[in-house]
Amino acid sequence: MAASRPFNDDTAYWGVPWEEGYGYPQARRVGNEIFISGQFNHDEEGNLVAPAPLDADGRPSDFSSMGEQMRVSYDNIAKLLALYGATMQDVVEETLYVLDMDAAFAVVGKVRKAAYGTERPQAASNIIGVSRLAQRPQLIEIVCRAVIGAHAK
């Protein structure tokens, strides 16, 4: 199931179970701004991509899939932006929530630059370490705000 705008032109959904359970859209446009809810490592069917293995207590035990999870998260953001005619170049601010700061710093530069298609992405960026994310095998979640037409140079 691809990202879509089934209810109106200003909100977007993936059609995944947690949207209904939690009650939120994946993206919302207000004027020329697009607010993207936390995106993580799921495909368009809602299946986790590169899930981290869990220990006996249900916590991630290996953080080596951080880069792939980050890449998928950025891909999801790009797909949502495209619904509004925007691109990653329109992103003006992002916040990355990560379970392991060292694992994130080991890959974030390369993955982020590839996602934005430039060596110097022009989006303000924050990275915050957290103790848990929504899905247990999840290592990262990315939230962002875009301004249609910002096209950073």
For residue 22, pLDDT beyond 60:
yes
pLDDT at 34 over 90: yes
Phi, psi of 6 (to 5 degrees): -75, -25
Reported as a single tens digit per residue, the pLDDT across 93-110 is 999 999 999 999 999 999
Report residue 40 as tokens.
């993580």
Q: Is the pTM of this model over 0.85?
A: yes
pLDDT greater at residue 3 or residue 82? 82
49/72 Cα distance (integer angstroms): 8
Question: Average pLDDT of 28-48?
Answer: 93
Q: Which residues contact 8 (CB under 8 A, 6 or more apart)?
A: none
Closest CA to 132 of 26, 18, 54, 17: 54
Rounded Cα–Cα distance for residues 58 and 135 (Å): 10
| Cβ-proximal residues to 31 (8 Å cutoff; 6+ apart), any chain | none
Q: Is 78 helix (H, G, I), strand (E, B) or coil?
A: helix
Chain mean pLDDT for the chain? 92
Q: What is the pLDDT of residue 1?
A: 56
To the nearest 10 degrees (0 to 180), the angle between helices 101-116 and 66-82 is: 40
